Amino acid sequence: MDRPTLDNWMRPPHTRWSFRHVRELIPTARIRHGHHPSELTYEPAGNLLDLHFESTSGRRVLGEYLATTDTDALVAIKGDAVALEWLAPGIRNDEPHLMFSVTKSITALLCGALVGADKIDVDLPVITYVPEVADSGFGDATVRHLLDMEASYAFVEDYSPGPDIVLYRNSAGWYPAPPDHMGLHEFLRTRQKQDEHGERFRYMSPTTDMLGWVCEAASGLPYALAVSQYLWVPMGAEADADITLDRFGTPRAAGGLSATPRDLARLGRIVADNGAGIVPADYIEDFVNGGDPSHWAIGDYADWLPGGCYRSCWYQPRVDPDCVMAVGIHGQMIYVDRPRGIVVVKQSSWSEPDNNDLHSDAEYACRAIARALGSDSPVAV
């Protein structure tokens, strides 16, 4: 039985197995759910899989799209009801699936909960919480810079992978590294400043690992315990989630969380419900209204999402007002349509990490689902 290893787990054809078995590849901390899962009823919306939507390559039918684009699971909820739960053959609904950079959006919700608990002030310097990085590129950044991906230091996020990503993944325990390799904290401490913070959107994953470190220091809890206590238990998760750790126990707060599709839908509901009493309402409302689109316009992803913004680790497509999304490589997404009270979660094992058209198609599919479910009439085909 040759299963994937750390040497090849993120490459095809291994992605489908690997993304649901990360704990078998990398040490993980358990993110415990509580004893009282919030109930989701099941009210399937008739012919949703027949829904048509406009993709980057023309008109597609949802069922055909899901079946042919390496989707593992898709769950759409409206209020407390599951309107669609689609699973690829062989995929179970109780397996935590790696969410890659959707983890960032979860870390940012944790940060919000800690703001609500008066443990973090996002306008303060990072070193208020983590003095260890005073001499690094993060030395004069604020927590807000981390949240909005506007910290600036020398790093190239190239998933091909480029040398920075290799060093980063070696530090995080995601690639095979010699046993004495530096860990994530050392990696963060040794980033060098480049240009000014707060001027433009620079998508650099370690920025959110820094945010995770801030959350741990501010809460006095390891990341997994903090996510459990501040999000997973209060939102009524039905399963444990987990987060990958480096060899010193540092969590990959930028990309290492695995969770079941329904629990991610519950997480999206926090955003749909103005924080649901778990995260301060104004922190959530700021996702859709806050941020500076001019920083986005000169940033890394302006071509992919023109006119958009990235605020507190959630993307604002700004096409539909009040809709936000969390996006991870290889096809992970939480799409939240707040006015319609709809959350769509997508888990995938795309061979390609980061193809703009694939990301856009996922967004368009989720938007079409939200609009169809949000209309008073049965699903419009």
Partner 1 sequence: MNRPTLDNWRQPPHLVWSLRHMRELVPTAQIRCHSSMCVLDPAPADGLLDLVFAGTRQEWRLGDYLDQTETDALVVLHDGRVVLEWLAPGIRDDEPHLLFSVTKSVVALLAGALAGAGLLDLDAPVTQYITKGAGAFAGASVRHLLDMTASFDYVEDYSPGIDFAEYAIANGLHPAPLDSPGLRGFLSTRSPEGEHGVVFRYLSPTTDMLGWVCEAAAGLPLPVAIAQYIWEPLGAEADGHITLDRAGTAFAAGGMSAIPRDMARVGLLVAERGAGIVPQGFVDDLIHGGDPAPWAAGDFADWLPGGCYRSCWYQPRVDPDCAMAVGIHGQMIYVDRPRNVVVAKQSSWSDADDSDNSTDAYLAARAICRALAADAPDARITLH
The tokens describing 76, both together, are 């759409």
- Give least dist CB 279 to partner 1, A: 25
Binders of partner 1 among residues 56 to 115 (CB under 8 A) are none
Q: Report how far apart the first and last C-alpha atoms of the chain are (Å, whole number).
A: 45
Distance CA 284, CA 196 (A): 27
- Comparing CB distances to partner 1, the nearer of 6 and 67 is 6
- Give least dist CB 28 to partner 1, A: 6
**Among 58, 89, 163, 178, interactor with partner 1 by CB under 8 A:** 178
- Give least dist CB 325 to partner 1, A: 30
Distance CA 192, CA 175 (A): 23
- Comparing CB distances to partner 1, the nearer of 216 and 273 is 216
- Give least dist CB 199 to partner 1, A: 33
**Residue 101 falls in the annotated catalytic set:** yes
**Among 72, 150, 209, 216, interactor with partner 1 by CB under 8 A:** 216
- Comparing CB distances to partner 1, the nearer of 2 and 303 is 2
**Among 176, 306, 339, 378, interactor with partner 1 by CB under 8 A:** 176
Size of the site for partner 1 (CB under 8 A): 25
- Comparing CB distances to partner 1, the nearer of 38 and 69 is 38
When asked if residue 179 is in the footprint of partner 1 (CB under 8 A), the reply is: yes
**Among 222, 234, 293, 374, interactor with partner 1 by CB under 8 A:** 222
HSE, side-chain direction, 13 A CA sphere, residue 151: 31
- Comparing CB distances to partner 1, the nearer of 239 and 323 is 239
- Comparing CB distances to partner 1, the nearer of 76 and 172 is 172
Other beta carbons less than 10 A from residue 178's beta carbon: 6
Binders of partner 1 among residues 8 to 67 (CB under 8 A) are 21, 23-30
Binders of partner 1 among residues 243 to 272 (CB under 8 A) are 245, 247-249
Residue in the structure block whose two tokens are 């220091």: 217
Q: Name the active-site residue from 101, 171, 205, 348.
A: 101
The tokens describing 170, both together, are 């070696």
When asked if residue 280 is in the footprint of partner 1 (CB under 8 A), the reply is: no
Q: Would you call the peptide bond into 293 cis, given omega within 30 degrees of 0 as the criterion?
A: no
- Residue numbers of the site for partner 1 (CB under 8 A)? 1, 3, 5-6, 21, 23-30, 176-180, 216, 222, 242, 245, 247-249
> What residues act catalytically?
101
